[in-house]
Chain A
């Protein structure tokens, strides 16, 4: 955008055009700041999400698994009381609980994927992380879908490379893609550009507000608040869940013994 400002400083340019260019430049600055804010928040939330899923998410799935096993035995007991043999009852119940079991397995798989991702980021040095972030923001400014020359496809590529800590790809994108701004000349074109910018700012502001209302944001706020009081609420939650799981596993063991499955 510097190009516009330079070309508009000549004296024969009409005043309106110069003022428009000034507003555009301010709005562009604002948009870039907003994009930074939103992208940074998304990164923060993703980190909260990954930490939560590793520390707590798995335990919830484990709890669901134990609950399902207990439910299985309760249903088997019910069928046995109606005259079915254990084997018959087991077969019927397994069939009815199949969907729920598959659902839990699917959730586990999701968590595995997330963990792989965290693993791949673990081996990046602090310097590299800083470099990665810098590059990421630079490219995000250029290619964010809300920018005039932005591209959703390119942004996806950039996000993926960032998530995987892939500096090489980010550097390559930086070298090959110019994403240069097209010089805008007429007043009408400038006005259109300004309107487009305002629309983008509005859209991305809404996205920011929406993110702030998300579950992950609330969780993040509470984790930070607790940290100030030297508490780790995720660990506390995990401990509570582990106690619940242990209790239920006890119950399950008794049921298994009863039916000679232990």
Chain B
């Protein structure tokens, strides 16, 4: 007998080997009702996910995948948990596995698109997100992500179209409103940009990014004192904001030059 084979055979008495080979035992324990059944664990996975306990959800998924390696719902929750935990690369691997089985699985497409966006692979993300929208055209999250990707590759017109569609579905989404405002600013439609920021601040007066960007837009059209008003607003919420302090100084200087 050759040496490698010898060692392999002996190891089955070892602790490591016993636990490595236990997947079939786990299945038996579940089917015998000694351990919770797969269905029960799936409910637990769902519960943990929606309670935002992503690590607990992921642990449960991995445990179940050791005996149910091809379970569609478990891989889905694993992918979603990884996405929320910002492990985008591993999440994409899960979504790819799902898409191999079911190429038009919208949840996998939409979330894969989001992960690609986070990895700054905007072109790839746009393809996937568009595919997701071809299946579920009214998903506001997918639309918003697509808009962001378009903006990232400087396709501002495309971004505006997507954001407008997202807004028609969810008119009070402050993030979409803000992003649309930003896109209008990008193409020089400052009045429209200001209008969007107003709508955001009406819904949430303390949305710092919108306050800051509104100040910037005012600066672009030369309304420095209006801009200063907004930078001051930032300081009233966040007194130590160095950037706002610098912005005020800059605007004051510009008013002086004028």
Contacts and interface: CB of A to CB of B under 8 A. Distances in A.
Contacts of B12: 46, 114, 117, 163
A89 interface: no
Nearest to B6: A160
Contacts of B24: 52-53, 56-57, 60, 107
Secondary structure dominating the interface of A: helix
Interface residues of B, number: 25
A224 interface: no
A211 B18 CA distance: 9
B7 A214 contact: no
Contacts, number: 79
A37 interface: no
Interface string A158-169: 011011000000
Interface residues of A, number: 37
A195 interface: no
Interface stretch (B25-33, B126-134, B171-179): B25-33
A17 to B, nearest CB: 37
Contacts of B34: 218-219, 222
Given A100-B70, A214-B19, A215-B22, A159 B13 contact: yes
Closest CB pairs A-B (n = 5): A160-B10, A215-B25, A215-B22, A57-B24, A156-B10
Interface of B: 6-7, 9-15, 18-19, 21-22, 24-29, 31-32, 34-35, 70, 100
Interface of A: 42-43, 45-46, 49, 52-53, 56-57, 60, 96, 100, 107, 110, 113-114, 117, 156-157, 159-160, 162-163, 207, 210-211, 214-216, 218-219, 222, 233, 236-237, 240-241
